[in-house]
Amino acid sequence: MKWRLCLVLAGACQSGDAKETPANSTIVQLPKAQVTDEYRADITTLCDVIRLSGADQKPKDERWTVTAVFLGTQIKTPEGDNFIRAIKPLPADAYALALETEAKRVGLAKCELANEWRAAAAVKQGK
């Protein structure tokens, strides 16, 4: 599981009842795992991975490798692994939205990894 998560950090989803969809966006259906204590712990770990892995003490260009290796040993449920696989191919802004949405669904008030991805998307877009 460790190496399949190495490319873990890369996207998210857009969902809702919006009437209009921008031409360059894609609506992605994410798996909706049953919210158990174990799954909530996986999402909590995912949201706090930068701090938990010590990546916040590393240069920004090293953070993603550190977090990916850390997550490979920390995600315990198949549902957590499936969630990561589902959001992996998505662009950074969508990835952030998916993380934030799932964090709220499992009862978390915030998701720091979503904030990190949102900031990365803004930099990439020149904002």
What tens digit of pLDDT does each residue of 47-67 get? Answer: 999 999 999 999 988 888 999
What DSSP character marks residue 7?
T
**Structural domain contains residue 28:** no
**Structural domain contains residue 17:** no
User: Is there a contact between 84 and 72 (Cβ–Cβ < 8 Å)?
Assistant: no
Please determine, for residue 33, whether its predicted confidence score (pLDDT) is greater than 60: yes
Residues 6+ apart with CB under 8 A from 52: 45, 70, 74
What tens digit of pLDDT does each residue of 77-91 get? Answer: 999 999 999 998 999
Distance between CA atoms of 90 and 101, rounded to whole angstroms? 14
Distance between CA atoms of 55 and 77, rounded to whole angstroms? 23
* pTM to 2 decimal places: 0.75
Query: What value does the mean pLDDT take over residues 90-102?
Result: 92
Q: Comparing 40 with 119, which gets the higher pLDDT?
A: 40
- State which residues form the domain around 82: 35-124
> How many independent structural domains does the chain possess?
1
